[in-house]
Amino acid sequence: MALPNYAYFDGRIVPYSEAKVGVLTHALNYGTAAFGGVRGYWNSDEEQLFVFRPHDHVKRFLQSAKLLCMDLPYTEDDLVKGMFDLLRTEGHRADCYIRPLAFMGDEIIGVRLHNLHPSISIVSIPFGRYVEAEEGVHVTISSWRRVDDNSIPARGKIAGAYVNSAFIKTDAERAGFDEALVLNQDGHLSEGSAENLYIVRNGVVATPPVTDNILEGITRRTVFTLLRDELGFEVVERPIDRTEIYVADEAFFSGTGVQIAAITRVDHRPIGSGKMGPLVSDLRELYFNVVRGKAQKYRHWCAPVYETERELAKA
Ligand code: PMP
């Protein structure tokens, strides 16, 4: 992966090589950091880079930081502006991924959340697919369990909690799968290592509720709107048993990285026909139009990078 050229670092844009921390940094030692993951989509017809739902992403980023008791001296608008300044400086003319990070920057020994000083960085890199097999993902049910809200809250993107996702992903890939689904402590399906989960049964889409140790995905919210308002599906948030996915008509993942990906096999069992089904296919088509700024109705979710500050403030 090519490194970024620049970074937003504590309020300033600096060369990436200057955005450095020491090995004693608290977040590096104890996982006391929160991050975000945002996509920018290049629209070649308009020669424009659109960031998808930047304010919603920054809002969740600030909530994740709040879970870690971080007192950040930046508002949502400050961070969105910093992100766009960075993107203009990088000058991407291709799809990209944006990674905000708030981390306890103190170089000290002592595990805690209080009396520490958070720093902020944002970087962006050109980015294509996160999962190669978006049209047909083969997943396993992980032998790991999802972190619990009373251990490390999954609703925030807390760096330390992603060791749980790393266990899940590595074991799945080493066993020959593309991804894994992970169960809660109570045995219900929660999500993938970095994706929200949905199953389709009898024309109804079901997805685990936010009380089932999932990340409250921005794409999840987008999917709710598109399914209900454009494709006419009912979406219910409810606990999902492991074996419900075996008998589902379709299943899929959503996430900034994975976008919309069809789950077509679970532990060698075909889901529905074993091929991407009609709902996921329609949803993918719609989603890619929306994120690239090609659907007028949802244009407000797509913030243009190469425009004036005034237009940025409205996004
Ligand atoms: N769950 C987890 C664990 C994730 O890391 C992600 C990726 N951010 C998601 C779900 C999807 O969230 P979003 O749609 O906001 O990218």
Instruction: Identify the active-site residue in 157, 275, 294, 297.
Output: 157
The two tokens of residue 225 are 């709107």
Cα–Cα distance for residue pair 53/65, rounded to 1 Å? 19
The residues of the chain that CATH labels 3.30.470.10 are: 6-128
Amino acid occupying residue 168:
I
Summarised one tens digit per residue, pLDDT across range 254-292 is 999 999 999 999 999 999 999 999 999 999 999 999 999
Domain(s) of CATH 3.20.10.10: residues in the chain: 137-291
What pLDDT, in 10s, does the model give residues 137-183?
999 999 999 999 999 999 999 999 999 999 999 999 999 999 999 99
DSSP letters, 65-97, are HHHTT---S--HHHHHHHHHHHHHHHT--S-EE
Q: Are 198 and 189 in contact (CB under 8 A)?
A: no
What tens digit of pLDDT does each residue of 50-71 get?
999 999 999 999 999 999 999 9
Please give the number of the atom of ligand 1 that sits closest to the Cα of 193. Answer: 3
State if residue 131 touches ligand 1 by the CB under 6 angstroms criterion: no
Q: Answer for the pair 62, 51: CB distance below 8 angstroms, yes or no.
A: no
Ligand 1 neighbour 100 (Cβ under 6 A): no
What fold is seen in the domain 137-291? D-amino Acid Aminotransferase; Chain A, domain 2 (3.20.10)
Q: Is the pLDDT of residue 96 over 50?
A: yes
3-class secondary structure, 58: helix
Question: C-alpha distances in angstroms, 14 versus 19, 61, 77, 79, 110?
Answer: 7, 21, 20, 15, 30
Residue 299 DSSP label: G
Let me know if 20 is a catalytic residue.
Answer: no
> Which CATH architecture does the domain made up of 6-128 adopt?
2-Layer Sandwich (3.30)
Amino acid code (one letter) for 149:
D
